[in-house]
Amino acid sequence: MKEKNKDIGINDVLKEVRTYIHNEENIQIVEHAANYASEKHAGQFRRSGEPYLVHLINVAYILATLKCGPKTVAAGFLHDVIEDCGISRDELCEEFDEEIADIVEAVTKIGTLRFKGKDDPEYQAANHRKIFIAMAKDVRVILVKLCDRLHNMRTLQYQPEASQKRIAAETLDVYAPIAHRLGISAIKNELEDLCFYYLNREEYHHIASLVEAKKTERDAAVSHMISEITEMLNENHLQFRIFGRSKHLYSIYNKMIKKHKRFDQILDLLAIRIVTQSELNCYEILGYIHAKYKPIPGRLKDYIAMPKPNMYQSLHTTIIGDDGKIFEVQIRTEEMDSIAENGVAAHWRYKEGSNYNPKIEQKQIEEKLGWFKNFALYSEEESASESASEYMATLQHDVFEANVYVMTPMGRVIDLPSGATPIDFAYRVHTDVGHTCVGAVVNGVMVPLNTELHTGDVIEIKTRKGTEPSEDWLQFVKTNQARNKIRNFLQKKETEKRSELVDLGEKLLREELIKRGFDAKEYMDKKHLEAIYHDFQVGTYVDFMYGIAVKSINPTVVTEKLTRQKARVTDFEEQAISRITNRDISKKANTKTGIIVPGIESMRMSIAQCCLPVYGDEIKGFITKGEGVKVHRAMCPNIHSANARLIDVMWDAGDPTRTYDSEIVITARDRAFLVTDILTVISQFKAPIDKINADVNHELLISTLKLTVRVHDVEHLNTLIANIRKVESVVDVDRGFH
Ligand code: MN
């Protein structure tokens, strides 16, 4: 690699500066900085063996070619004095002024970030984030840092190989994208090719040789085309410059890799640029060219009417020449051409006599470069709250890789990654606009919120106060910014809801303990609770109380475990046993059903299948023809009109081993794990299931479950029903009738 401007001196910088700065006081500032740096860095050398001053001269020189103001060029000379000469910020303030000192200090901070933990990706991301944040505050810091990095890249051959790779990778990750976004393509292209060379030398040489191989042929084709166009435009009395241009190697490599193209399939290898006087001339020239040569459909791009977010303006078209060769033609004005090369530096190039104010300049840049505002805001506000690699991912994806340009109704251009939706747009406008978004109008038409946006769309977001972001949005948003903001909102809400439920869980458990005569304070301490977490497969207090609140953990069972006392289900058995011991032996029981018909010793009896009475229910006997007495629940609709055939029946003293079939009908809003949760409750209450039947109404999303369970008595059954009612999304539970 040839090193550019190898032998320049302080005078070359001053000469360059004098081409656009004429005020002697301002020239003095630059000269003073040059002499100061020369004095302070005296005796220091770079790895190349050259005096350190050579680096500073080069940095200042590149800044001067970008037509930066005197203080920025001065900062170029001074950018290493704090770090390498132990000069303090205060000393710089005294010797120069606060502005220069601030720039030098910011550049120094960026420079000193890079030495520690270089192999840890998270550390690297943190490093890169700091660089971006430091640069986002003042565009002049970026310019000095970019020129510093450019000269370091030009002299990278003197570094050991490991440093070469690291510095080149960082340059490709951080500095080339920012040069691109600031529209400084001259620096961006040179940085990219240098990085390419150091990171992938083999591919670099491969592509360089491909370019070289047919160079003569291509040059001939281009000059032939240039002379044809020149003749045509001259005939029409147009003022213009025309020249061929070559693509830089890294962009060819990228096209081959990203678009899976072979070298000979790349359409813009033969490229011509026409620079003219006015916008109108641009369109006129385009008209003549299209009249003579066939354009390739879909390749005409009007970046004059729709500038890129880095302010780039030009007309692009691709045409087929006489012998079938394909040419890319760019048409633009002189002003557009200088912005295309030097971007932000060209647009805000130093103007003598104007009252320069860096704050106003920064503001203007943020207004003109929509992304820069996002970048500055994003770097300032959000960076503290997330990990460095998230910040880098967002910056990379949302800011640097944005390629869809849409507009607000007021004409503000907003750049988004491809596939972005109105929700992404809304969050880019403002967090609150995103949170309260209820609808989107794209090009005058109301569209769904997941509609993919396209370049040129005009978008209006409808908001409504009090609405909240929906979890569904996470399925389709494309920007990390929107995703993070939605997630943060939902998480915050979830945390709030969770803490309410934890309170509820505590309350339910406390009530249950008190109801059973235990001292709630004694049992609800950390030690007691932690000892039983594993019984309920939870690991934390929050999860445990949450479980009680949402009914996945039964407070009765918890009470039982906590107090090591028998609880409800076994209570029932005890009661049943005592009923047996005290039973009135004189009354004869039908051992099968437990039902007695007073005064009648033996009578065929059976339980009615329509209402399935269980022990303890109010019952009536129905005298059938030939099947003895059927025992119904007193309220069974099937026996209401049959008074004459009803007789009184009653339960015997009971038998704890006896169980009764009962049908339970559950209505619930359908959800995942509904049946599992219900079955868990039923098994907690030790009611074996004989039959289960589930039906989902897909339109209403309502599930109806019919279960046949075996219970001991009506108290057992009622407890079971009451607890199923508490299962989430259960609407109603009742006993079945047929
Ligand atoms: Mn430096």
CA dist., res. 207 & res. 210, Å (int): 5
Nearest alpha-carbon partner for 440 in 429, 425, 454, 455: 425
Tell me the backbone φ, ψ of residue 238, rounded to 5 degrees.
-100, 150
CA dist., res. 655 & res. 608, Å (int): 20
pLDDT at 573: 44
Half-sphere exposure of 303 (CA within 13 A, CB side): 21
pLDDT at 568: 41
The helix/strand/coil state of 43 is coil
Task: With beta carbons less than 8 A apart as the criterion, state whether 225 and 321 touch.
Answer: yes
Distance 46 CA to ligand 1 centre (A): 10
pLDDT at 552: 80
Distance 24 CA to ligand 1 centre (A): 27
Distance 56 CA to ligand 1 centre (A): 7
pLDDT at 122: 67
Distance 80 CA to ligand 1 centre (A): 6
Tell me the backbone φ, ψ of residue 730, rounded to 5 degrees.
-75, 130
Task: With beta carbons less than 8 A apart as the criterion, state whether 105 and 82 touch.
Answer: yes
43 φψ region: left (φ > 0), alpha (ψ -120 to 50), beta (else): left
* Beta carbons within 8 Å of 599's beta carbon, 6+ residues apart: none
Q: Is residue 264 annotated as a catalytic residue, yes or no? A: no
Distance 377 CA to ligand 1 centre (A): 27
Distance 175 CA to ligand 1 centre (A): 14
Distance 347 CA to ligand 1 centre (A): 25
Distance 128 CA to ligand 1 centre (A): 17
- Alpha carbon separation from 45 to 3, 38, 54, 84, 171 (Å, rounded): 18, 12, 9, 11, 23
In the block, residue with structure tokens 């320069």: 356
pLDDT digits (tens, 9 = 90+) for 457-507: 889 999 998 889 998 899 999 988 898 889 889 988 888 888 888 899 999
CA 500 to chain CA centroid, nearest Å = 28
466 φψ region: left (φ > 0), alpha (ψ -120 to 50), beta (else): left
Annotated active-site residue in 7, 39, 50, 84: 84
SS3 content of the chain, % helix, strand, coil (to 5): 55, 15, 30
CA dist., res. 592 & res. 578, Å (int): 20
626 φψ region: left (φ > 0), alpha (ψ -120 to 50), beta (else): left
CA dist., res. 454 & res. 168, Å (int): 34
Distance 359 CA to ligand 1 centre (A): 25
Annotated active-site residue in 3, 12, 16, 83: 83
Distance 167 CA to ligand 1 centre (A): 13
Task: With beta carbons less than 8 A apart as the criterion, state whether 443 and 458 touch.
Answer: yes
pLDDT at 127: 65
Nearest alpha-carbon partner for 197 in 169, 174, 160: 169
- CB burial string 256-276: b at 16+ within 10 A, e below: beeeeeebeebebbbbbbbbb
Pick out the chain residues at pLDDT < 70. 1-2, 111-132, 134-135, 267, 353-356, 367-388, 399-401, 565-592, 598-603
- Alpha carbon separation from 356 to 32, 49, 77, 346, 503 (Å, rounded): 20, 39, 20, 15, 60
Half-sphere exposure of 155 (CA within 13 A, CB side): 19
And the tokens for 54? 């050579």
pLDDT at 128: 66
CA 339 to chain CA centroid, nearest Å = 33
And the tokens for 316? 């692009």
Find the Cα–Cα–Cα–Cα dihedral 487, 493, 496, 501, rounded to 10°: -100
Nearest alpha-carbon partner for 9 in 37, 29, 28: 37
Task: With beta carbons less than 8 A apart as the criterion, state whether 273 and 243 touch.
Answer: yes
Q: Is 440 exposed, middle or buried (0-12, 13-18, 19+ CB in 10 A)?
A: buried
Distance 41 CA to ligand 1 centre (A): 12
Q: Is residue 617 annotated as a catalytic residue, yes or no? A: no
The structure's pTM equals 0.58
* Beta carbons within 8 Å of 79's beta carbon, 6+ residues apart: 56, 59, 103, 104, 107, 108, 144, 148
Task: With beta carbons less than 8 A apart as the criterion, state whether 711 and 717 touch.
Answer: yes
And the tokens for 482? 């929107």
Distance 1 CA to ligand 1 centre (A): 20
Task: With beta carbons less than 8 A apart as the criterion, state whether 584 and 655 touch.
Answer: no
CA 296 to chain CA centroid, nearest Å = 38
Number of helical H runs and strand E runs in the chain: 30, 21
How many Cβ atoms are within 10 Å of 721's Cβ, its own excluded?
A: 17
- Alpha carbon separation from 272 to 225, 325, 338, 416, 448 (Å, rounded): 9, 13, 16, 30, 43
| 167-173 long-range contacts, CB within 8 A, separation 24+ | 167/198, 168/194, 168/195, 168/198, 168/199, 169/195, 169/199, 170/114, 170/124, 170/127, 170/128, 171/195, 172/199, 173/128
Task: With beta carbons less than 8 A apart as the criterion, state whether 512 and 430 touch.
Answer: no
How many Cβ atoms are within 10 Å of 672's Cβ, its own excluded?
A: 7
The helix/strand/coil state of 567 is coil
- Alpha carbon separation from 696 to 7, 671, 675, 701 (Å, rounded): 83, 10, 12, 7
End-to-end CA distance of the chain: 92
CA dist., res. 199 & res. 324, Å (int): 37
Distance 623 CA to ligand 1 centre (A): 107
Distance 560 CA to ligand 1 centre (A): 73
